[in-house]
Structure 1
Amino acid sequence: MSVTGTEAGARPREYVMDNGHRIVVLGAGYTGMFTAIRLAHRTRRDGVSITLVNPSSRFVERLRMHQIAAGQELPHHRIADLLDGTGVTFVQGAATVIDADARRVTLDGAAASLPYDTLVYALGSATDTGKVPGAETHAYTLDSPETAGRLAARLAEVAAAGGTVTVCGAGLTGIEAAAEIAEARPGLKVTLVGTEEPGAMMGEKARAYLHRALDRLGVTRETGVRVAKVLPAAVELADGRTLRSDVCLWTAGVKVSPLAADAGIATDAHGLILTDATLRSVSHPEIHAVGDAAAVRLAYGQLHGSCQSGLPTAQYTADTIARLVRGKSVKPFRFGYFHQPVSLGRRDAVIQFTKADFTPAGMRLTGRGAVAYKELVSGSPLFAYRCSKRVNVSTIVSKGGRATREPAA
């Protein structure tokens, strides 16, 4: 593929693609990046062209945003560098319209468009701050290095005055953020608020370890309660109480781009693309959906958005497209969960190993061993990208065994 009508720093007006099967990947997060790199290796002799589209030139390690919020400096990974040697063309821009009938994607600026024969929809998700009054205006998120950096700067100011921070949402992201901030800023009073107990998805012993770690770090928990409103210097709870809060971090709930639904692609009530057993759109089979943007149902239930399940959907989709390009048949997607890794600051962690359906198994790992394990998990996507330029690296630890042998109802 070539880009025409551009100069250094200018926005491209027209994209001219070489003849052959045209594949466009929307989104260069964990799943989109892996799909593009693996697909390039798998189709290197098939004469396809692959274009990866993303608004930013930086690859964002979403698994590490809480580290930036705590004031840590992370390496800067350029998308172009990660794609070097793959033959994938990177186009910086945001998709604004998908014309599913014409098979064309319009990018921001309204003058640029990309035709495709196959589209990989990997736009991921973002924190949903729109459901609770005041959250969008007064709360911080961990959606990007920029938002996490602004939070870090604010936390430094508040910590110097011995202030308070409230983390809303007691899922894995909220737990990791609360622990990281409390460890890095011991002068802060950190409160974790959630409708469920932190670690509710874990086994009893792993959950008990998690709570002991939060106690050690001084993290206060407000469980079984919903946030009703975020104020400039407080958080109002649904039970009528008000918690003083100099800083509010919002990690409760996610939303996806309306792009697919606006294009007439079949989606569920949350905007996720409805997929068949091969992760193709049920309404537009030339569109493959991966990661957080896909409604993927297996026999044990629907996958939830996570890197653990997202990378396997990317791997499967790259392999599926390669086979379809060659006219070969494909088998249904199978995946089983393997673990629930949770960092508790830089010096502690807990790993709950799971059954295929994400329910806790008997094994767990804690302490230094868990810290090393969690760091290996967080760094595994970049390792997979680098290796996948030359060999087929698998990110699927478990296909689910008996739990996925039968298709979803």
Structure 2
Amino acid sequence: MERKFIPLSVPNIKGNELEYVTEAVKDEWVSTGGSYIETFEKNVAEYVHVEKTVAVQSGTAGLHLALIQSGVGLGDEVITATLTFIAAVNPIRYVGAEPIFMDCDDTLCLDPIKVEQFIEEECTFEEGKLINNRSKKHIKAILGVHVFGNLLDMEKLMNIANKYNLKFIEDATEALGSYYTNGSYKGQFAGTIGDFGVFSFNGNKIMTTGGGGMILAKNKEDLDYVRYLSTQAKDDTLNFIHGDVGYNYRMTNLQAALGVGQLERLEDFIATKKANYHLYKELLESNEKVELMEFKQNIRPNYWFYALNIKGNPDIQLFIHKLQAEKIQTRPIWGLIHEQKPYKKSQSYKIEKADYYVNHILNIPCSSNLTQEEVCYVSECVKELL
């Protein structure tokens, strides 16, 4: 019997999703109006213990609106990570601002120590504004990414943001369901701590709406205005009166219906991914050539993506092709953003660990419908082909 292909990360749609989507179709509420949008927003808010959320077309749209409402605009700067997907950074340019790229730490997330070093060594704080000594521009925000379901060191980063009057935007697009189990933010979910938080429901995320995203905000008025901007900034819906430059960023009712069904199963997804992570760890721990990257000890992660740290001087591309020949899909970590063509002239600061990890990290299959047999097969192939 021919072995079937094992994908990296695919949706798991086996609950009430079809029922809810069918109901939305039958009711003919398929666009950006309909009861499922409100239900999905309410259910996610209850899950992460906040009052309200705003559903949008994508995580990228959410970051764009969060930057706008943070007051980031033309000529400003934003501190962010170089080790991330480029969709986390592009919205900074959408608003006319410039990124300043920082290194990661050993969690693959933004390094708070280097962020603070950069501010102390390269900036001046005067009259409530953080000024970049090189560019003479105002740094207005930090945009940090919770990578692979791991969590940023929000205690240190929020202390920095508060000290220097910076807005903090949490890119929690990979971390829905992850929360802190001790420390100042014990019990708080990713996306609920900064001034804004953003989730993504792309097809490869832990739960999906086929696309789509969601925004959270510490300030209710900020969230209300984000909702207003996401629906073309309508002041008078009958007479087409608009009070600002708005965006067509609202989630559709069909997407929300899918999301309601997916959210019902989120904790089951996390439990499966946790079990598979620990099985991978058990099967691979005897191999000195690889290390399955740990999640932080003070969190309950969602175990979204599993990251193999391949020791020595690996040829990642060759290894990917070898596994592909065994019908196993893997991928390298993202190319560093400060080395990408649109950002080569952007400022970066002491990029060291990211340079290492970009050449050593490989993501292996992690879908929530991955079987234990498939985990064993992937593990054996990894050990045999390295």
TM-score, with length taken from structure 2: 0.31
Higher helix share: 2
- Judging by fraction of residues, say which structure has more strand: 1
Q: 1 or 2 for the larger relative contact order (CA 8 Å, sep ≥6)? A: 2
